[in-house]
């Protein structure tokens, strides 16, 4: 089994370049979403604690079985720990043997941004130049660079209630070629923006802005609401916009759409990529991608990582599993009379 560490992934990105990696990941996601019915899918299994959540996210095709272990512990940051870490495994569906075990903390950030950009390909205006992001935590830079691969972005407006988070964001993107515009409020950031990303970490029902604060033709990418009882947008806004989600059963439990009826959802993402349903139909309509993160995206990311690991001789082969000479004689590995 090949083991890929976070350092291996850093080295891979340094070799391929962030732009090329995003391009290949977006393409892999689009390919897999277009083959939606080839996958065995389910909502993630979540175990909730007072301090956070631990989740298992499985997805399988006829060729591979993939799953991700991921947590969400907002209180980790003051302890000097990440609030989200993840580990993923890709297995051979024919034998059940694991092929790859990898850090997915970095991959999750990339795949979340790549999925957002893919949805926007169908829902946002293709000439979008101004992007506003609310919440400049660990996901923010990935989102901006992912969208950059598909849109001619010029100005990035950003707001976070934590000044240090805004300073970090500006420092990381200072040589990215964007006009970086800090805002002193949510409304100032989103005013006349073509694309608005909400990526806050606060628990509970939030109301970051209302429908009246958005310009006609805005595309919303809501990624902060990702568990029951956690939302960023008001229910009345959901009644007035075109909504797409990843996997409806999971989104109704965890996304912004937990606040409305299922028939308010226009499409799942696969229906847009496969051309089953239309995306944006006019320059004036307001669209929303209500993203909570779905296991198919992790499958795509692990599949791509497995390909790239082979291309670039990345990672280390570890003999973790037993290998008896006779597969029916597992106990023989403990037989003191066995020669050798």
The contacts of residue 95 (CB under 8 Å, 6+ apart) are: none
8 Å CB contact between 67 and 59: yes
Catalytic residue among 32, 160, 194, 226: 226
8 Å CB contact between 230 and 224: yes
Measure Cα distances from 29 to 181, 304, 317 in Å: 31, 9, 27
Q: What is the rounded distance in angstroms from the CA atom of residue 294 to the CA atom of residue 292?
A: 7
Measure Cα distances from 334 to 318, 319, 340 in Å: 21, 17, 11
What kind and span of H or E run contains 252?
helix 248-254
Q: Residue 27: name the closest of 111, 151, 127 by CA.
A: 111
The contacts of residue 238 (CB under 8 Å, 6+ apart) are: 256, 257, 259, 260, 264, 288
Q: What is the rounded distance in angstroms from the CA atom of residue 193 to the CA atom of residue 295?
A: 30
Sole residue written with tokens 């989102």: 143
Write out the two tokens for 226.
Answer: 């990702």
Q: Residue 4: name the closest of 114, 81, 85, 106 by CA.
A: 106
Query: What residues pair up with 53 in beta bridges, in sequence order?
Result: 48, 72
Q: Residue 38 catalytic?
A: no
Sole residue written with tokens 């079985």: 65
Active site residues: 226
């Amino acid at each position: 089994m090949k083991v890929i560490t976070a350092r291996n992934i850093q080295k891979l990105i340094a070799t391929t370049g962030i732009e090329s990696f995003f391009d290949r990941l977006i393409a892999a996601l689009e390919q897999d979403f277009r083959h939606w019915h080839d996958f065995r899918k389910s909502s993630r299994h979540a175990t909730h604690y007072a301090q956070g959540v631990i989740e298992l996210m499985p997805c399988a095709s006829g060729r591979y079985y993939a799953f991700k272990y991921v947590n969400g512990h907002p209180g980790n940051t003051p302890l000097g720990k990440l609030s989200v870490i993840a580990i993923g495994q890709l297995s051979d569906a024919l034998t059940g043997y694991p092929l790859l075990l990898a850090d997915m903390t970095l991959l999750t950030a990339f795949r979340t941004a790549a999925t957002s950009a893919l949805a926007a390909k169908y829902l946002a205006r293709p000439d979008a130049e101004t992007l506003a992001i609310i919440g400049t935590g660990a996901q923010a830079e990935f989102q901006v660079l992912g969208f950059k691969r598909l849109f001619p972005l010029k100005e990035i407006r950003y707001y976070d209630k934590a000044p240090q988070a805004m300073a970090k964001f500006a420092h990381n993107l200072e040589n990215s070629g964007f006009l970086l515009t800090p805002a002193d409020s949510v409304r100032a950031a989103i005013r006349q923006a073509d694309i608005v990303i909400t990526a806050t970490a606060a628990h509970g029902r939030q109301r970051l802005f209302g429908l009246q604060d958005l310009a006609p033709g805005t595309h919303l990418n809501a990624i902060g609401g990702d568990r029951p009882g956690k939302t960023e947008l008001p229910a009345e806004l959901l009644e007035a916009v075109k909504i797409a989600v990843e996997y409806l059963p999971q989104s109704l439990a965890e996304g912004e759409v937990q606040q409305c009826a299922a028939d308010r959802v226009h499409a799942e993402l696969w229906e847009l990529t496969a051309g089953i349903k239309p995306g944006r139909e006019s320059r004036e309509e307001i669209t929303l991608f209500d993203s909570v993160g779905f296991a198919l995206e992790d499958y795509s990311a692990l599949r791509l990582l497995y390909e790239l690991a082979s291309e670039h001789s990345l990672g280390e082969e570890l003999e973790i599993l037993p290998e008896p000479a006779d597969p029916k004689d597992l106990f023989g590995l403990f037989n003191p009379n066995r020669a050798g």
